Amino acid sequence: MDQATPSSGASQQTDYQRRFAEGRAEASFTLQAVADVVGISKAAVSQFEKGKSSLSLDKFLKACEALNLRTEWVLHGKGKMFDGERPAPQRVQGRPARRL
C-alpha cells in the first residue's frame, strides 16, 4: 500500500489537514474506512491529519470524493463542507465504521 509522504522539518498540522479531519469525523468515517477507500494505511491517514505527512494529490482528491467533502472548503475554508449530502458511513469488515 502507498503511504503518506513524510513532511520535511517539524510536524505542524495545517488548516486544510485540520479541516479534512473535521470533515471526516462529521461524515462519520473512521480512519480505517478512509484508508480502505484510498488504498493507504490507517496510520498514513492519521499521520496526514496530524500534519506529520502529506498525501499525493490523487489520494487526497480520492479521499475528499469518498467523504463528499468540497475541496474548496478543505483547502481554503470557503463554502459548504459537503458537496450535496453527507455520505453514508462506510462499513469496515461488515460492521458500521462508526457507531452513531
Domain boundaries, the chain: 12-78
Q: Which three cell numbers stand for residue 93?
A: 469488515
Element counts in the chain: helices (H) and strands (E) = 5, 4
DSSP-assigned letter for residue 39: T
The answer, as to whether pTM is greater than 0.85, is no
Selecting from 3.40.50.150, 1.10.3720.10, 1.10.260.40, 3.40.50.2300, what CATH number does the domain 12-78 have? 1.10.260.40
58-100 residue pLDDT tens: 999 999 999 999 999 999 999 999 988 776 665 545 444 543 3
Distance (Å, whole) CA 6 – CA 3? 9
Return the exposure string of 57-91: e unless at least 16 CB atoms fall within 10 Å of the residue's CB, then b: eebbebbbebbbbbeebbeeeeeebbbeeebebbe
pLDDT (tens digit per residue) in 12-69:
899 999 999 999 999 999 999 999 999 999 999 999 999 999 999 999 999 999 999 9
